[in-house]
């Protein structure tokens, strides 16, 4: 069943996943080549980079490109430059992500407006702007009406108007996006806002003519005429917008665009930074009840202080009406808004998610960038070129041949030593090989596991480890037969004793593989991973295939009666056939010594006495 599920998963990933899974294992740099990228560190004043800064940057880049330690990428230092060799053919986005500073900031949304006026959006109320801007907007509106009588849309955002524009049903965060409103609608009502001290997140709506205080990060009083003008003139398609936003002061409001450039914002000051994020991982998006939506998300975990701050922020934002811009909280990465969902409740558990139209690769790349922190330097890609494999297909062919020869020698030994019982060991090795091949192939698609020559060596070494498990089990059974127990009892008692030995042996191998994996680099890490994987497969095969199969065969006539070439002939093992078959006549003594008891026939036949 495990084998069927494993290869069924590979088939499903091949047919329906994006990108589709390969039917063969992914190969590393030494066997398949890849791309080498040389990056030059940059400083603002043009001074030389310190060795400490460069070493820190290399460590972060290495973890970004090989977060799981199984990609077998190589990150080295070339003078003042950094060389990164990645297996396969990475996309330009993956190359660019290596040098990204990954500044993660959380800002409250003050105003939101779509950049495409033709987008269809349901009716929503607009956000009130400060009264000082009302007259400016009205004057601009009248001037634009005089100059362009046939104009149907306006780029400015008016204060106190009702939102007659339409908006899409979902944004990248899976929530509705409020529009910035139309410019020709009359003023109506204002949404609810928090109290001035921010302590009452469910304060009643602000009355007409009142203003929230600027001390509130979500207060619209922070919007100055200059900021409003900058927002109106903001072109999300222009180059350098993200860089300019990333350099904006953290304690002041700013403007920003989404990654796609389809929406622009006025955002409040930074309330939370990426330094409060302790962990980030990618996974399928789930809803209440555990149902999977089919999309991907990034799960964030905050530290203690960050979790408390995040709870206070969501408590304040939750006081604003659903659908209003001030009910939203923007996640800004490198000056671009990657998501700005509404707040549907107070999040006090210290965790949050970034969801949207992510591919598995995009979500994993984002999670790695957030998890491994920001680079201490900025980098510029100098060269990017394809490199050939250092070993190539010839060495891989030799490795595969060595593995096949090893398997055939083990097969021959098992048949000579255990006769027909050796077929059980051969079948177990075939099952273990199938599980190893399927696991390596599936991991190549799911976790970008790359099989290098060191990994191939680890798989070949595992043949001996797996064969050793069968030998220990079979010899335990034969020891029990020599002790006079029938085969049906010898299988069970031999398994009880062999099981402890097998577990201890495999645990020692796992400990060795784990230590090698954690403390080594590059090729040794690949060897350790392959060794640990095959050790786990060995336990699964022995417990769920070998022992059950031997138990079934012990109840057959050919094996149970120790027929010739069965591998369990009692004469060959030095046991009496009568005891082996459990048919010996047990003589019951006439006199029982004081303090002794009569033993049952089952106890005598089973060799207990």
SS3 sequence, 387-421? Answer: ECCCCCHHHHHHHHHHHHHHHHHHHHHHHHHHHHH
For residue 163, the SS3 value is coil
| Alpha carbon distance 194, 200 (integer Å) | 6
Residue whose C-alpha is closest to residue 71's, from 133, 105, 28: 28
What is residue 184's predicted lDDT score, i.e. its pLDDT? 35
- Please state, in angstroms and rounded to a whole number, the distance separating the CA atoms of residues 576 and 485: 10
Q: Which of 178, 171, 168 shows the shortest CA–CA distance to 356?
A: 171
* Predicted pLDDT at 127: 28
- 3-class DSSP assignment, residue 131: coil
pLDDT: which is higher, 597 or 108:
108
How much of the chain exceeds pLDDT 90, in percent? Answer: 15
- Evaluate if residue 84 carries a pLDDT over 60: yes
Name which of 352, 308, 379, 294 is nearest 84 in CA terms: 379
Element (H, E) at 242: helix 241-246
Q: What is the distance between the alpha carbons of residues 538 and 535, in angstroms, rounded to a whole number? A: 5
Report the pLDDT averaged over residues 74-86: 86
- Grouping H, G, I as helix, E, B as strand and the rest as coil, residue 266 is strand
d(CA 483, CA 499): 19
Q: Where are the beta strands (DSSP E) in 11-157?
A: 34-42, 74-78, 81-87, 104-114
**Model confidence at 475: pLDDT above 50:** yes
DSSP classification of residue 274: G
The burial class, CB within 10 Å (0-12 / 13-18 / 19+), for 150 is: exposed
- Which residue in this structure is represented by tokens 């680079």? 375
Q: What percent of the chain has pLDDT over 70?
A: 71
Contacts of 451 (CB under 8 A, 6+ apart): 25, 26, 27, 28, 31, 440, 444, 526, 530
pLDDT of residue 466: 85
Q: 133-147, 249-263, 494-508, 556-570 — which one is most confidently predicted on average?
A: 494-508
Nearest to 195 by CA among 344, 319, 343: 319
**Mean of the per-residue pLDDT values of the chain:** 74
Contact partners, residue 146, CB within 8 Å, separation at least 6: none
- Say whether pLDDT at 374 is over 70: no
Q: Above 90 in pLDDT, residue 48?
A: no
- What pLDDT, on a 0 to 100 scale, did the predictor assign at position 344? 78
Q: Which range is most confident: 61-75, 202-216, 283-297, 572-586?
A: 283-297
* Per-residue pLDDT, 121: 41
Distance of alpha carbon 236 from alpha carbon 215, whole angstroms: 29
Q: What is the pLDDT of residue 318?
A: 86
Q: Which of the listed ranges 10-14, 131-135, 561-565 does the model predict with the highest average pLDDT?
A: 10-14
Mean pLDDT of 20-41: 86
Query: Taking Cα atoms as reference points, which of 409, 454, 452, 407 lies closest to residue 434?
Result: 407
Spatial neighbors of 262 by CB under 8 A, at least 6 apart, are 114, 115, 116, 119, 236
Q: Of 69, 184, 148, 29, whose CA–CA distance to 443 is shortest?
A: 69
H-helix or E-strand spanning residue 445: helix 422-446
Q: How far is CA 273 from CA 200, 251, 278, 425, 427, in A?
A: 24, 12, 11, 57, 56
pLDDT recorded at residue 8: 94
Above 80 in pLDDT, residue 72?
no
More confident residue, 189 or 588: 588
Angle at 121 between CA 115 and CA 126, to 5 degrees: 80
Pick from 48-57, 86-95, 161-170, 525-534 the range whose average pLDDT is largest: 525-534
Highest mean pLDDT among 131-135, 315-319, 505-509: 505-509
SS3 473: helix
Residue 577 has pLDDT above 70, yes or no: no
Does the global pTM surpass 0.75?
Answer: no
Instruction: Report whether 157 contacts 232 (CB < 8 A).
Output: yes
The whole-number pLDDT of residue 28 equals 83
* C-alpha torsion angle, residues 312, 316, 321, 323 (rounded to 10): -60
d(CA 160, CA 132): 12
d(CA 364, CA 472): 43
For position 208, what pLDDT does the model report? 36
Query: What pLDDT, on a 0 to 100 scale, did the predictor assign at position 6?
Result: 93
- Least confident residue range of 243-247, 282-286, 563-567: 243-247
Is 80 exceeded by the pLDDT of residue 505?
A: yes
Q: Alpha-carbon Rg of the chain, whole angstroms? A: 35
d(CA 606, CA 609): 8
Give the span between the Cα atoms of 140 and 69, in whole angstroms: 58
At residue 134 the predicted structure's pLDDT band, cuts being 50, 70 and 90, is very low
pLDDT of residue 212 exceeding 70, the answer is no
Longest dimension (CA), the chain: 127
Least confident range of 125-129, 169-173, 494-498, 508-512? 125-129
Pairing of strands 329-333, 263-267: unpaired
Q: Sign of dihedral through CA atoms 195, 201, 204, 206?
A: positive
- CA dist 396 and 404 (Å) reads 12
pLDDT for 269:
92
Q: Give 428-466 pLDDT, tens digit per residue.
A: 999 999 999 999 999 988 888 888 888 888 888 888 888
Whether 144 shows a pLDDT value over 80: the answer reads no
Q: What is the mean pLDDT of residues 350-376?
A: 72
Q: Average pLDDT in the 88-111 region?
A: 76
Containing H/E element for 95? helix 92-98
């Amino acid at each position: 069943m495990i084998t069927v599920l494993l290869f069924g998963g590979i088939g499903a990933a091949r047919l329906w996943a994006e990108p589709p899974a390969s039917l063969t294992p992914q190969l590393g740099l030494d066997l398949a080549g890849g791309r080498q990228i040389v990056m030059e560190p940059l400083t603002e004043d043009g001074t030389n980079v310190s060795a400490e800064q460069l070493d820190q940057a290399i460590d972060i880049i290495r973890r970004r490109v090989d977060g799981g330690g199984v990609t077998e990428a190589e990150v080295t230092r070339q003078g003042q430059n950094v060389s990164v060799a990645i297996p396969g053919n990475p996309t330009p986005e993956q190359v660019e992500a290596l040098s990204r500073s990954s500044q993660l900031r959380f800002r409250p949304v003050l105003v939101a407006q779509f950049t495409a006026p033709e987008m269809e959006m349901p009716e929503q109320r607009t956000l009130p702007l400060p009264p000082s801007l009302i007259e400016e907007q009205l004057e601009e509106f009248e001037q634009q009406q005089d100059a362009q009588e046939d104009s149907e849309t306006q780029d400015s955002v008016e204060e106190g108007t009702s939102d007659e524009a339409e908006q899409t049903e979902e944004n990248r965060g899976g929530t509705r996006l409020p529009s910035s409103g139309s410019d020709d609608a009359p003023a109506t009502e204002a949404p609810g806002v928090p109290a001035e001290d921010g302590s009452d997140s469910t304060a009643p709506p602000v009355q007409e003519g009142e203003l929230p205080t600027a001390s509130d990060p979500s207060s619209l009083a922070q919007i100055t005429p200059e900021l409003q003008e900058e927002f109106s003139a903001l072109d999300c398609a222009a180059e350098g917008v993200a860089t300019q936003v990333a350099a904006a002061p953290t304690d002041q409001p700013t403007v920003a665009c989404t990654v796609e450039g389809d929406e622009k914002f006025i955002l409040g000051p930074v309330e939370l930074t990426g330094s409060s994020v302790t962990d980030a991982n990618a996974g399928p998006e789930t809803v209440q009840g555990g149902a999977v939506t089919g999309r991907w998300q990034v799960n964030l975990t905050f530290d203690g202080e960050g979790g408390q701050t995040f709870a206070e922020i969501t408590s304040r934002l939750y006081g604003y009406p659903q659908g209003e811009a001030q009910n939203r909280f923007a996640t800004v990465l490198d000056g671009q808004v990657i998501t700005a969902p509404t707040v549907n409740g107070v999040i006090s558990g210290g965790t949050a998610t970034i969801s949207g139209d992510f591919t598995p690769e995009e979500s994993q790349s984002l999670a790695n960038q957030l998890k491994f922190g920001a680079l201490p330097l900025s980098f510029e890609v100098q060269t990017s070129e394809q490199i050939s494999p250092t070993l190539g297909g010839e060495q891989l062919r030799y490795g595969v041949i060595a593995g096949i020869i090893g398997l055939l020698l083990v097969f021959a030994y098992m048949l000579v030593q255990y006769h027909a019982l050796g077929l059980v060991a051969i079948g177990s090795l075939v099952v273990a090989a199938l599980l190893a091949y399927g696991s390596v192939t599936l991991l190549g698609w799911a976790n970008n596991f790359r099989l290098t020559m060191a990994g191939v060596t680890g798989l070949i070494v595992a043949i001996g480890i797996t064969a050793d498990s069968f030998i220990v089990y079979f010899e335990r059974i034969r020891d029990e037969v020599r002790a006079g127990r029938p085969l049906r009892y010898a299988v069970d008692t031999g398994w009880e004793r062999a099981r402890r030995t097998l577990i201890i042996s495999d645990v020692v191998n796992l400990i060795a593989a784990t230590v090698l994996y954690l403390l080594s680099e590059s090729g040794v890490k690949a060897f350790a991973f392959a060794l640990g994987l095959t050790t786990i497969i060995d336990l699964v095969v022995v417990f769920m295939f070998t022992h059950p199969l031997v138990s079934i065969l012990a109840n057959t006539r050919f094996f149970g009666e120790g027929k010739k070439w069965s591998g369990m002939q009692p004469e060959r093992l030095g046991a009496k056939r009568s005891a082996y078959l459990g048919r010996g006549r047990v003589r019951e003594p006439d006199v029982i010594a004081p303090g002794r008891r009569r033993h049952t026939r089952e106890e005598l036949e089973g060799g207990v006495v």
